[in-house]
Copies of this chain bind each other. A is one copy, B any other.
Amino acid sequence: MTTKWFVGVDLGGTTIKLAFIDPYGDIVYKGEVPTNTTNGGGEITTDIAKWIDQSLEHLGQTKDQLHSIGMGAPGFINMETGYIYHAVNIGWKDFHLKDRLEMDTGLPVIVDNDANIAALGEMWRGAGDGAKNLLCVTLGTGVGGGIIANGNILHGVNGMAGEIGHITAVPEGGYQCNCGKTGCLETISSATGIARIAKEFINKYPHSLLASEYAKDGHMTAKLVISCADKKDQCALKVIEDVTYHLGFALANLANALNPEKIVIGGGVSKAGQTLLQPLERAFQKFALPRVFEGASIVTATLGNDAGVIGGAWLAKSQK
Protein backbone atom coordinates (compact mmCIF):
# COMPACT_ATOMS: atom_id res chain seq x y z
CA MET A 1 0.00 0.00 0.00
CA THR A 2 1.53 3.28 -1.10
CA THR A 3 -1.13 5.87 -0.39
CA LYS A 4 -1.21 7.36 3.08
CA TRP A 5 -4.37 7.96 5.07
CA PHE A 6 -5.64 11.15 6.65
CA VAL A 7 -7.16 11.24 10.12
CA GLY A 8 -10.46 13.12 10.24
CA VAL A 9 -11.58 14.22 13.70
CA ASP A 10 -14.94 15.82 14.51
CA LEU A 11 -15.23 16.98 18.09
CA GLY A 12 -18.72 17.37 19.55
CA GLY A 13 -20.01 18.06 23.04
CA THR A 14 -20.74 14.39 23.77
CA THR A 15 -18.64 12.31 21.34
CA ILE A 16 -15.48 12.60 19.26
CA LYS A 17 -15.90 11.05 15.81
CA LEU A 18 -12.70 9.78 14.23
CA ALA A 19 -11.80 8.10 10.95
CA PHE A 20 -8.90 7.03 8.76
CA ILE A 21 -9.67 8.25 5.27
CA ASP A 22 -7.84 7.52 2.05
CA PRO A 23 -6.81 10.29 -0.41
CA TYR A 24 -9.96 9.67 -2.46
CA GLY A 25 -12.27 10.42 0.47
CA ASP A 26 -13.25 6.85 1.30
CA ILE A 27 -13.47 5.94 4.96
CA VAL A 28 -11.05 3.07 5.71
CA TYR A 29 -11.90 2.74 9.37
CA LYS A 30 -13.97 4.80 11.80
CA GLY A 31 -15.01 5.00 15.42
CA GLU A 32 -15.96 7.31 18.21
CA VAL A 33 -15.02 7.97 21.81
CA PRO A 34 -16.90 9.93 24.48
CA THR A 35 -15.86 13.57 24.90
CA ASN A 36 -14.15 13.82 28.28
CA THR A 37 -14.90 17.33 29.50
CA THR A 38 -13.37 16.84 32.95
CA ASN A 39 -10.12 18.61 33.76
CA GLY A 40 -11.06 21.52 31.48
CA GLY A 41 -11.08 19.23 28.43
CA GLY A 42 -7.39 18.48 29.04
CA GLU A 43 -7.70 14.73 28.30
CA ILE A 44 -9.21 15.10 24.82
CA THR A 45 -6.03 15.25 22.77
CA THR A 46 -4.65 12.21 24.62
CA ASP A 47 -7.90 10.29 24.00
CA ILE A 48 -7.57 11.04 20.28
CA ALA A 49 -3.94 9.90 20.24
CA LYS A 50 -4.86 6.66 22.02
CA TRP A 51 -7.70 5.92 19.57
CA ILE A 52 -5.29 6.42 16.69
CA ASP A 53 -2.65 4.07 18.19
CA GLN A 54 -5.18 1.39 19.13
CA SER A 55 -6.89 1.55 15.73
CA LEU A 56 -3.57 1.27 13.87
CA GLU A 57 -2.68 -1.76 15.97
CA HIS A 58 -6.10 -3.30 15.31
CA LEU A 59 -5.55 -2.82 11.56
CA GLY A 60 -1.98 -4.13 11.69
CA GLN A 61 -0.59 -0.77 10.56
CA THR A 62 2.03 1.65 11.86
CA LYS A 63 1.96 5.43 12.15
CA ASP A 64 3.87 5.64 8.85
CA GLN A 65 0.52 4.89 7.23
CA LEU A 66 -0.84 8.26 8.40
CA HIS A 67 -0.18 11.57 6.67
CA SER A 68 -1.74 14.15 8.97
CA ILE A 69 -4.81 15.10 11.02
CA GLY A 70 -7.64 17.48 10.06
CA MET A 71 -9.90 18.36 12.94
CA GLY A 72 -13.14 20.26 13.43
CA ALA A 73 -13.90 21.80 16.81
CA PRO A 74 -16.67 24.00 18.19
CA GLY A 75 -16.09 27.46 19.63
CA PHE A 76 -13.98 30.45 18.72
CA ILE A 77 -10.82 29.31 16.95
CA ASN A 78 -7.78 30.97 15.47
CA MET A 79 -7.54 28.75 12.39
CA GLU A 80 -3.95 29.71 11.56
CA THR A 81 -2.50 28.78 14.93
CA GLY A 82 -5.09 26.15 15.92
CA TYR A 83 -5.65 28.03 19.16
CA ILE A 84 -9.05 27.83 20.88
CA TYR A 85 -10.12 31.05 22.57
CA HIS A 86 -13.21 29.50 24.10
CA ALA A 87 -15.29 26.35 23.58
CA VAL A 88 -18.02 26.37 26.21
CA ASN A 89 -19.34 22.82 25.74
CA ILE A 90 -15.85 21.31 25.85
CA GLY A 91 -14.42 23.31 28.72
CA TRP A 92 -11.53 24.74 26.72
CA LYS A 93 -10.38 28.28 27.34
CA ASP A 94 -7.15 29.56 25.77
CA PHE A 95 -6.26 26.03 24.67
CA HIS A 96 -3.39 25.25 22.26
CA LEU A 97 -5.32 22.52 20.42
CA LYS A 98 -3.03 22.17 17.39
CA ASP A 99 0.20 22.17 19.40
CA ARG A 100 -1.15 19.75 22.03
CA LEU A 101 -2.53 17.30 19.47
CA GLU A 102 0.70 17.42 17.44
CA MET A 103 2.69 16.60 20.58
CA ASP A 104 0.37 13.76 21.60
CA THR A 105 0.19 12.14 18.16
CA GLY A 106 3.46 13.10 16.46
CA LEU A 107 1.43 14.04 13.35
CA PRO A 108 0.87 17.44 11.68
CA VAL A 109 -2.52 18.89 12.63
CA ILE A 110 -4.82 21.44 11.02
CA VAL A 111 -7.89 22.74 12.84
CA ASP A 112 -11.06 24.51 11.72
CA ASN A 113 -14.57 25.21 12.93
CA ASP A 114 -16.93 22.18 13.05
CA ALA A 115 -19.56 23.76 10.76
CA ASN A 116 -16.84 24.59 8.24
CA ILE A 117 -15.40 21.07 8.03
CA ALA A 118 -18.90 19.65 7.57
CA ALA A 119 -19.24 21.99 4.57
CA LEU A 120 -15.89 20.78 3.19
CA GLY A 121 -17.01 17.16 3.63
CA GLU A 122 -20.22 17.78 1.69
CA MET A 123 -18.23 19.63 -1.01
CA TRP A 124 -15.78 16.76 -1.49
CA ARG A 125 -17.86 13.64 -1.16
CA GLY A 126 -21.43 14.68 -0.35
CA ALA A 127 -24.27 16.70 -1.81
CA GLY A 128 -21.89 19.44 -2.95
CA ASP A 129 -20.64 17.06 -5.62
CA GLY A 130 -17.36 18.93 -6.05
CA ALA A 131 -18.96 22.40 -6.39
CA LYS A 132 -16.31 24.93 -5.38
CA ASN A 133 -18.84 27.65 -4.57
CA LEU A 134 -21.14 26.29 -1.93
CA LEU A 135 -23.23 27.34 1.05
CA CYS A 136 -23.84 24.74 3.72
CA VAL A 137 -26.59 25.35 6.27
CA THR A 138 -27.20 23.03 9.20
CA LEU A 139 -30.73 23.15 10.62
CA GLY A 140 -30.46 21.49 14.04
CA THR A 141 -31.03 22.75 17.56
CA GLY A 142 -29.46 25.93 16.20
CA VAL A 143 -28.62 27.02 12.66
CA GLY A 144 -24.98 26.67 11.63
CA GLY A 145 -23.27 27.50 8.39
CA GLY A 146 -20.16 27.16 6.30
CA ILE A 147 -19.35 29.12 3.15
CA ILE A 148 -16.96 27.83 0.49
CA ALA A 149 -15.79 30.17 -2.28
CA ASN A 150 -13.31 29.05 -4.94
CA GLY A 151 -12.89 25.83 -2.98
CA ASN A 152 -11.80 27.56 0.21
CA ILE A 153 -13.66 28.06 3.49
CA LEU A 154 -14.32 31.72 4.25
CA HIS A 155 -13.20 32.73 7.72
CA GLY A 156 -13.47 36.51 7.68
CA VAL A 157 -11.38 38.90 9.72
CA ASN A 158 -11.93 37.26 13.11
CA GLY A 159 -13.21 33.78 12.29
CA MET A 160 -16.92 34.68 12.36
CA ALA A 161 -17.69 34.11 8.67
CA GLY A 162 -20.45 31.60 7.97
CA GLU A 163 -22.74 32.66 10.83
CA ILE A 164 -25.77 32.18 8.59
CA GLY A 165 -27.97 31.44 11.62
CA HIS A 166 -27.58 35.02 12.79
CA ILE A 167 -28.66 36.70 9.61
CA THR A 168 -31.65 38.81 10.64
CA ALA A 169 -34.82 37.31 9.14
CA VAL A 170 -37.35 39.48 10.98
CA PRO A 171 -36.08 43.09 11.15
CA GLU A 172 -38.63 44.39 13.67
CA GLY A 173 -40.47 42.55 16.45
CA GLY A 174 -38.58 39.29 15.99
CA TYR A 175 -38.06 36.65 18.68
CA GLN A 176 -35.14 36.96 21.10
CA CYS A 177 -32.06 34.99 19.99
CA ASN A 178 -29.31 33.56 22.23
CA CYS A 179 -26.82 35.85 20.50
CA GLY A 180 -28.46 38.96 21.97
CA LYS A 181 -30.13 40.13 18.75
CA THR A 182 -33.76 39.51 17.80
CA GLY A 183 -35.30 37.90 14.73
CA CYS A 184 -32.23 35.84 13.75
CA LEU A 185 -32.77 33.04 11.22
CA GLU A 186 -31.93 30.63 14.05
CA THR A 187 -35.09 31.72 15.92
CA ILE A 188 -37.15 30.54 12.94
CA SER A 189 -35.48 27.77 10.93
CA SER A 190 -33.88 25.69 13.69
CA ALA A 191 -35.71 22.69 15.13
CA THR A 192 -36.34 24.85 18.20
CA GLY A 193 -37.66 27.73 16.09
CA ILE A 194 -39.99 25.47 14.12
CA ALA A 195 -41.46 24.05 17.34
CA ARG A 196 -41.97 27.57 18.72
CA ILE A 197 -43.72 28.79 15.56
CA ALA A 198 -45.86 25.64 15.48
CA LYS A 199 -47.16 26.41 18.96
CA GLU A 200 -48.27 29.84 17.70
CA PHE A 201 -49.96 28.40 14.62
CA ILE A 202 -52.03 25.72 16.41
CA ASN A 203 -54.01 28.52 18.09
CA LYS A 204 -55.17 29.53 14.63
CA TYR A 205 -55.81 25.90 13.59
CA PRO A 206 -57.23 24.27 16.75
CA HIS A 207 -58.82 21.41 14.78
CA SER A 208 -55.69 20.50 12.83
CA LEU A 209 -53.84 17.20 13.06
CA LEU A 210 -50.84 19.07 14.45
CA ALA A 211 -52.97 20.57 17.26
CA SER A 212 -54.46 17.21 18.20
CA GLU A 213 -51.11 15.39 18.13
CA TYR A 214 -49.63 18.14 20.29
CA ALA A 215 -52.55 17.85 22.76
CA LYS A 216 -51.63 14.18 23.40
CA ASP A 217 -48.46 14.91 25.38
CA GLY A 218 -47.96 18.68 25.21
CA HIS A 219 -44.62 18.16 23.50
CA MET A 220 -44.03 20.07 20.25
CA THR A 221 -41.09 19.16 17.97
CA ALA A 222 -39.95 19.95 14.44
CA LYS A 223 -40.22 16.23 13.76
CA LEU A 224 -43.94 16.27 14.63
CA VAL A 225 -44.50 19.30 12.38
CA ILE A 226 -42.77 17.54 9.48
CA SER A 227 -44.68 14.30 9.98
CA CYS A 228 -48.02 16.20 10.01
CA ALA A 229 -46.95 18.21 6.94
CA ASP A 230 -46.21 14.92 5.16
CA LYS A 231 -49.85 13.99 5.87
CA LYS A 232 -50.92 17.33 4.26
CA ASP A 233 -52.14 18.86 7.54
CA GLN A 234 -52.89 22.52 6.70
CA CYS A 235 -51.54 23.86 9.97
CA ALA A 236 -48.21 22.01 9.66
CA LEU A 237 -47.92 23.09 6.00
CA LYS A 238 -48.45 26.73 7.03
CA VAL A 239 -45.66 26.40 9.59
CA ILE A 240 -43.30 24.98 6.95
CA GLU A 241 -44.37 27.75 4.54
CA ASP A 242 -43.52 30.42 7.12
CA VAL A 243 -40.18 28.83 8.04
CA THR A 244 -39.05 28.33 4.44
CA TYR A 245 -40.16 31.86 3.46
CA HIS A 246 -37.66 33.36 5.90
CA LEU A 247 -34.97 30.78 5.14
CA GLY A 248 -35.40 31.32 1.40
CA PHE A 249 -35.22 35.10 1.84
CA ALA A 250 -31.95 34.86 3.81
CA LEU A 251 -30.37 32.29 1.47
CA ALA A 252 -31.40 34.18 -1.69
CA ASN A 253 -29.88 37.41 -0.38
CA LEU A 254 -26.69 35.58 0.44
CA ALA A 255 -26.74 33.91 -2.96
CA ASN A 256 -27.19 37.28 -4.72
CA ALA A 257 -23.87 38.27 -3.16
CA LEU A 258 -22.03 34.92 -3.43
CA ASN A 259 -23.51 33.20 -6.51
CA PRO A 260 -23.10 29.63 -5.19
CA GLU A 261 -23.51 26.52 -7.31
CA LYS A 262 -24.93 24.42 -4.47
CA ILE A 263 -26.83 25.20 -1.32
CA VAL A 264 -26.59 22.17 0.94
CA ILE A 265 -29.16 21.86 3.73
CA GLY A 266 -28.11 19.55 6.55
CA GLY A 267 -29.06 18.80 10.16
CA GLY A 268 -32.07 17.02 11.60
CA VAL A 269 -34.63 19.33 9.97
CA SER A 270 -33.27 18.49 6.51
CA LYS A 271 -34.69 14.97 6.89
CA ALA A 272 -38.01 16.57 5.87
CA GLY A 273 -36.69 16.30 2.29
CA GLN A 274 -39.03 17.61 -0.41
CA THR A 275 -41.58 18.75 2.19
CA LEU A 276 -38.98 21.36 3.11
CA LEU A 277 -37.15 21.80 -0.20
CA GLN A 278 -40.13 22.56 -2.43
CA PRO A 279 -41.46 25.59 -0.52
CA LEU A 280 -37.86 26.64 0.18
CA GLU A 281 -37.08 26.69 -3.52
CA ARG A 282 -40.19 28.81 -4.23
CA ALA A 283 -39.13 31.41 -1.64
CA PHE A 284 -35.54 31.32 -2.89
CA GLN A 285 -36.66 31.95 -6.47
CA LYS A 286 -38.81 34.90 -5.38
CA PHE A 287 -35.81 36.72 -3.87
CA ALA A 288 -32.87 35.57 -6.05
CA LEU A 289 -31.69 37.23 -9.27
CA PRO A 290 -32.77 35.05 -12.21
CA ARG A 291 -29.16 34.18 -13.17
CA VAL A 292 -28.31 33.42 -9.54
CA PHE A 293 -31.38 31.18 -9.25
CA GLU A 294 -30.45 29.36 -12.46
CA GLY A 295 -26.89 28.80 -11.23
CA ALA A 296 -27.83 27.37 -7.84
CA SER A 297 -29.35 24.09 -6.79
CA ILE A 298 -30.69 23.46 -3.30
CA VAL A 299 -30.03 19.94 -2.05
CA THR A 300 -30.07 18.05 1.23
CA ALA A 301 -26.82 16.89 2.82
CA THR A 302 -25.92 13.26 2.15
CA LEU A 303 -23.03 12.43 4.48
CA GLY A 304 -24.90 12.68 7.79
CA ASN A 305 -22.56 12.14 10.74
CA ASP A 306 -19.60 11.41 8.45
CA ALA A 307 -19.47 14.96 6.99
CA GLY A 308 -17.14 16.20 9.72
CA VAL A 309 -14.49 13.46 9.52
CA ILE A 310 -14.46 13.53 5.72
CA GLY A 311 -14.19 17.34 5.74
CA GLY A 312 -11.37 17.06 8.27
CA ALA A 313 -9.53 14.70 5.92
CA TRP A 314 -10.05 17.15 3.03
CA LEU A 315 -8.65 19.97 5.15
CA ALA A 316 -5.56 17.87 5.90
CA LYS A 317 -5.22 16.76 2.29
CA SER A 318 -5.56 20.29 0.90
CA GLN A 319 -2.67 21.47 3.11
CA LYS A 320 -0.19 19.26 1.29
Contacts and interface: CB of A to CB of B under 8 A. Distances in A.
B289 A179 contact: yes
A8 B262 CA distance: 34
Copies of this chain, tallied across the complex: 2
Contacts of A90: none
B157 A259 contact: yes
A181 interface: yes
Given A249-B168, A250-B253, A161 B289 contact: no
A298 interface: no
Contact of A259 (B161, B254, B260, B289): B161
Contacts of A296: 157
A131 interface: yes
B159 A259 contact: yes
A261 interface: yes
Contact of A167 (B155, B160, B161, B256): B256
Contacts of A56: none
A299 interface: no
Given A133-B156, A171-B249, A249-B168, A258 B289 contact: no
List of 4 A-B pairs having minimum Cβ-Cβ separation, nearest first:
A156-B259, A157-B261, A160-B259, A161-B259
26 contacts: A133-B156, A133-B157, A150-B152, A154-B258, A154-B259, A156-B259, A156-B292, A157-B260, A157-B295, A157-B296, A158-B259, A158-B291, A158-B294, A161-B259, A162-B257, A163-B257, A163-B259, A163-B289, A163-B292, A168-B253, A171-B249, A179-B289, A179-B290, A181-B287, A181-B289, A253-B254
